[in-house]
Amino acid sequence: MDTLVLVSSILVPTITIFFLHHFLTGKSNIPGKYGWPLIGESIDYFKKLRSGTNEKFVMQRKKLFGNVFKTSILGEKMAFLCGPEGNKFLFSQENKLVEVWWPSSVESIIKKSNNKSVTAESAKVRQLLPPFLRAHAVKNYIADMDSELKQHLEEYWTGHDKVEVCPFVAKYTFALAVKLLLGVRDGTELEKLAKPFVDAAGGIIAVPINIPGTRFNRGVKASNKIREVINDIIAQRRKDLADGIATPSQNLLSHMIVEVDKRNEDTSNAPTTDGDMSSDLLGLLIGGYDTINTTVVFIMMTLVDHPDVYEGVLKEQMEIAQGKAPGELLNWDDLRKMKYSWNVACEVLRMRPPTVGAFRVAKKDFTFGGFTIPKGWKLHYIPHYTQKNPEYFPNPEKFDPSRFEGDGPAPYTYVPFGGGARMCPGNEYARAEILVFMYNIVTRYNWKMLIPDEKVVIDPLPRPVHGLPIKLIPHQAQT
């Protein structure tokens, strides 16, 4: 009993002080409410997230409080700047009034050495990406993407009348990213990375309770295993570079090693360790993996639900296939012809954004819409809000690829890849991989869902609950 009294005498005042400091400092004139002590409105936020209606979290509060409102989620005071104006402001003020912020779950999964901030380090990583992820570089990946996918289909799809789409797509997209960006083609190394990868990705958007059995705990353990494997790959690549077996420009990993070693020669800055690089690479793999997987899976679901759309995609892709010589691989010009197919993919991205959005933190006090956002406050944008809003997309639940014809949607209403300075650096890579997949699948097969109206869960990103088992129907004349 004495111990309980002692603990209570320490714990209760500590929680009280934390609560008072957290919610009574950084006062602002923003309308809204914080919700329950400590947990804020996180329960409602995650409830809507897991039901696939997280745009309603914003819509309900906008109706009550207007285009700018405050809340508390993930243990943080947070402001939402609604609509395309809010999106534009956050994207255009990157590294001026706001900067990227990640929840503690992300910081724990993609952790750095010596308590370095993932946010601060990510800016350095972004500087290394353009030579490998911009359009001029992605052009060189198209044939490899096509070749790898054809090999994947021969191994896992050809000769099978039934397949489960989700695990096969995940296996392909992960292996391709590791091969193209890290230069790893050894099957043993790929398997070492692939096995824990799903748990690591799942821990990114999880309640950060690090006890055995939780999603977050599994994610932390899995990320540690992945870093160990990548550290070994980095050590071998550094040796290959020294021996002239590898070249600095052959892939992102080699380029990163050379540039980081140059930067580390400046002793005025904290050195970037191999562990830091492995965390950076893990973050890149997770970011690209989820976006492409989710989009490809829902494209396949959509084409079943909309036979007319399937026929439109098939017509476009068969015209391209008929212009290819036997065995000729896809190229950049082929992808430029896939206008309707990309409109279809964009409409899938509009209706089912593959991410929950992104977070920012105020670098200084600033004013938006007549309200003061205090320094240190977090900001959050959800692409679902504008993309599923009838104000910007009439009849938003209707699947309509024509929305993307001509000039397309109004600026900053369609933001699956972010925008401005924080436009996803891998958007061209994702576009290419999605179109290569659509070409190969549609020119080979039609398909039927074996579980009609299969339920979709958000766990933590949207996925069919049974992995989307389908019956393949090969075309009579295959390409």
pLDDT, one tens digit per residue, over 390-401 is 999 999 999 999
Q: pTM of the full predicted structure?
A: 0.87
Q: Model confidence over 371-382: pLDDT tens digits?
A: 999 999 999 988
Could you tell me the CATH number of the domain that includes residue 82? Answer: 3.30.43.20
* 30 in the same domain as 144: no
How does residue 263 score in pLDDT terms, banded at 50, 70 and 90?
A: confident
Question: Which among 470, 468, 448 has a CA at the least distance from the CA of 457?
Answer: 468
* 324 in the same domain as 239: yes
Q: What does the pLDDT read at residue 450?
A: 96
How confident is the prediction for the chain on average, in pLDDT? 85
* 440 in the same domain as 294: yes
* 385 in the same domain as 465: no
* 240 in the same domain as 175: yes
Q: What does the pLDDT read at residue 419?
A: 78
Domain boundary pick from 395, 415, 435? 415
Q: What does the pLDDT read at residue 117?
A: 57
* 117 in the same domain as 107: no
Spell out the long-range contacts of 420-425 with Cβ–Cβ below 8 A and sequence spacing 24 or more: 420/88, 420/91, 420/92, 420/94, 421/91, 421/92, 421/94, 421/95, 422/90, 422/91, 422/94, 422/100, 422/358, 423/91, 424/287, 424/291, 425/126, 425/129, 425/130, 425/133, 425/134
Q: Model confidence over 329-370: pLDDT tens digits?
A: 999 999 999 999 999 999 999 999 888 888 899 999 999 999
Q: What does the pLDDT read at residue 305?
A: 94
Report d(CA 404, CA 398) in Å as an integer.
14
**Lowest-pLDDT range of 31-45, 300-314, 315-329, 417-431:** 417-431
Could you tell me the CATH number of the domain that includes residue 459? Answer: 1.10.630.10
Q: Is residue 235 part of a domain?
A: yes
Q: What does the pLDDT read at residue 10?
A: 34
Judge whether residue 285 has pLDDT over 90.
no
* 195 in the same domain as 318: yes
Residue 60's contacts (CB-CB under 8 Å, 6 or more residues apart) are: none
Q: What does the pLDDT read at residue 177?
A: 86
Domain containing 188 equals: 113-355+421-479
Judge whether residue 289 has pLDDT over 90.
no
Q: Model confidence over 60-79: pLDDT tens digits?
A: 999 999 999 999 987 889 99
**Is residue 471 within a helix (H) or strand (E), and if so which, with residue range?**
strand 469-474
* 212 in the same domain as 140: yes
Judge whether residue 248 has pLDDT over 90.
no
What is the tally of structural domains in the chain?
2
Report d(CA 384, CA 323) in Å as an integer.
39
Q: What does the pLDDT read at residue 392?
A: 95
Q: What does the pLDDT read at residue 282?
A: 85
* 250 in the same domain as 137: yes
Judge whether residue 261 has pLDDT over 80.
yes
* 135 in the same domain as 102: no
Report d(CA 94, CA 119) in Å as an integer.
12
* 180 in the same domain as 99: no
- The residue-averaged pLDDT of 157-177 equals 90
Judge whether residue 474 has pLDDT over 90.
yes
* 119 in the same domain as 98: no
Judge whether residue 26 has pLDDT over 60.
no
Q: What does the pLDDT read at residue 250?
A: 85
Q: Phi and psi dihedrals of 221, rounded to 5?
A: -60, -45
